[in-house]
């Protein structure tokens, strides 16, 4: 009777495992690898859109510079116009003595000097120096109006570029987020599948053990050691490891895109010393190689990390949204270990979320990191 009960338990466990496997298609490590390849392909396909975005960033910086210059020139033109206006008002007073109050009122109430109906009889009252002063005032006013129109055009151009940047950023991040979500969802399903496989295997092992004990109990006492002589199933395969190459990992463990902007102009007359790796806010940031991290912050880089690699090279991570749990000054990390999250802190507050990443061979000056991260991330 005991054998029948135990056999039923074993059969039930086997049927449960079979029905679970039949309910959904099995996910394999190859499926995970294919999903990761697709995620990288999406990022690579965004290269043109990313290049357009980077070009728009450069154009916006140029417009910011032009707007500052135009604003200063407009302020100077306005100052010169005020000076010329004072001289014109003095002429108006002189004309009053010669031509009466009606013209003076017209002069002072006019929006521009060109609106004043200077009749020939009035002009005849002006001296040569007076005519020169009025001509200068007219020129100053024209220059002021022209400069104001130019500034308005520049501001309108900048507003258009900013709107384009916002639209492009939303499109790029949307595609990256979709690709990343699909990959992480598949990984989560795979991990759940393997956890269920391990649970069923343990149930089956315990049922077989109980069956073996029941079989021996009717004929003889269990041998020393518990009689656990049944064959156990092999453990399930581990989840797919974080993508790495040659002992190094892509600094952004998620869907990411970037172009070569090393040396490109930046605000304040600076040149770009790294690569801007665009990814959704909160995307995991990992150690490109094993080493020790130093944490810092600044108005430019925001929340930052310096990774002193075991190779002797140093790496700079900037604009992070935050640090990973357990990461502090002097923490030793392994390649691919989570150290932070993509953000837009520091002077990147009004840009698309991204990781500014630099490479400093031997701890010296920066070099173009684009070839390295391209080989690791795409």
What was the pLDDT predicted at 212? 87
Mean pLDDT of the chain: 82
* Phi, psi dihedrals of residue 121, rounded to the nearest 5°: -65, -30
Element holding 341 (H helix, E strand): strand 338-342
- Compute the distance between CA of residue 327 and CA of residue 296 in angstroms, rounded to an integer: 12
What was the pLDDT predicted at 270? 86
Neighbours of 262 (CB within 10 A): 19
What was the pLDDT predicted at 25? 86
**262-267 long-range CB contacts below 8 Å, 24 or more apart?**
262/368, 262/369, 262/370, 263/368, 264/54, 264/58, 265/58, 265/61, 265/62, 266/61, 267/61, 267/64, 267/347
CB of 341 within 8 A of CB of 327? no
What was the pLDDT predicted at 108? 56
CB of 58 within 8 A of CB of 51? no
- Compute the distance between CA of residue 343 and CA of residue 294 in angstroms, rounded to an integer: 18
Domains contained in the chain, CATH given: 1-225 (no CATH), 248-377 (2.70.70.10)
Q: Express each pLDDT in 15-72 by its tens digit.
A: 444 444 445 689 999 999 898 888 888 888 898 899 999 999 989 989 988 999 999 9
- Compute the distance between CA of residue 337 and CA of residue 371 in angstroms, rounded to an integer: 22
Neighbours of 345 (CB within 10 A): 19
DSSP secondary structure string, 116-148? Answer: S---HHHHTTS-HHHHHHHHHHHHHHHHHHHHH
Burial of 25 from C-beta contacts in 10 A (0-12 / 13-18 / 19+) = exposed
3-state secondary structure of 21: helix
Per-residue pLDDT of the chain (378 residues; tens, 9 = 90+): 444 444 444 444 444 444 444 456 899 999 998 988 888 888 888 988 999 999 999 899 899 889 999 999 999 988 888 888 887 777 667 666 555 555 556 555 665 555 555 544 455 555 666 677 778 888 888 899 999 999 999 999 999 999 999 999 999 999 998 988 888 899 999 999 999 999 999 999 999 998 888 888 765 554 444 444 444 444 544 444 455 555 899 999 999 999 999 998 887 788 899 999 999 999 999 999 999 999 999 999 999 999 999 999 999 999 999 999 999 999 999 999 999 999 999 988 888 999 999 999 999 999 999 999 999 998
For residue 292, CA distances in Å to 114, 301, 328, 337, 361 come to: 72, 19, 10, 12, 15
CB of 191 within 8 A of CB of 239? yes
């Amino acid at each position: 009777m005991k054998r029948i009960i135990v056999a039923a338990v074993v059969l039930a466990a086997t049927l449960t495992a079979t029905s679970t496997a039949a309910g959904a298609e099995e996910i394999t490590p190859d499926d995970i690898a294919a999903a990761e390849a697709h995620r990288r392909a999406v990022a690579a396909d965004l290269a043109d859109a990313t290049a357009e975005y980077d070009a728009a960033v450069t154009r916006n910086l140029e417009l910011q510079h032009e707007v500052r210059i135009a604003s200063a020139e407009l302020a100077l033109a306005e100052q010169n116009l005020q000076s010329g206006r004072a001289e014109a008002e003095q002429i108006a007073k002189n004309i009053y003595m010669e031509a009466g109050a009606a013209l003076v009122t017209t002069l002072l109430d006019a929006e521009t000097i060109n609106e004043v109906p200077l009749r020939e009889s009035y002009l005849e009252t002006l001296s040569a120096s007076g005519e020169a002063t009025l001509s200068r005032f007219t020129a100053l006013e024209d220059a002021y109006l022209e400069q104001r129109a130019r500034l308005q055009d520049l501001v309108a151009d900048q507003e258009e570029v900013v709107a384009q940047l916002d639209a492009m950023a939303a499109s790029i991040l949307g595609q990256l987020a979709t690709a990343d979500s699909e990959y992480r969802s598949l990984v989560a399903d795979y991990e759940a599948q393997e956890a269920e496989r391990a649970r069923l295997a343990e149930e089956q092992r315990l049922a077989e053990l109980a069956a073996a004990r029941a079989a021996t109990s009717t004929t003889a006492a269990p041998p020393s050691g518990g009689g656990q002589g049944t064959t156990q199933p092999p453990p399930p395969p581990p989840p797919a490891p974080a993508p790495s190459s040659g002992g190094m990992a892509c600094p952004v463990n998620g869907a990411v895109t970037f172009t070569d902007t090393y040396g490109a102009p930046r605000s304040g007359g600076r040149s770009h010393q790294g690569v801007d790796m665009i990814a959704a806010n909160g995307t995991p940031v990992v150690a490109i190689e094993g080493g020790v991290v130093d944490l810092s912050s600044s108005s430019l880089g925001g929340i930052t990390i310096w990774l002193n690699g075991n190779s002797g090279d140093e790496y700079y991570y900037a604009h992070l949204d935050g640090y990973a749990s357990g990461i502090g000054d002097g923490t030793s990390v392994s390649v691919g270990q989570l150290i932070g999250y993509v953000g837009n802190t520091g002077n990147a507050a009004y840009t698309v979320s991204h990781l500014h990443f630099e490479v400093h061979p031997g701890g010296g000056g920066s070099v173009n990191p684009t070839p390295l991260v391209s080989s690791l991330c795409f």
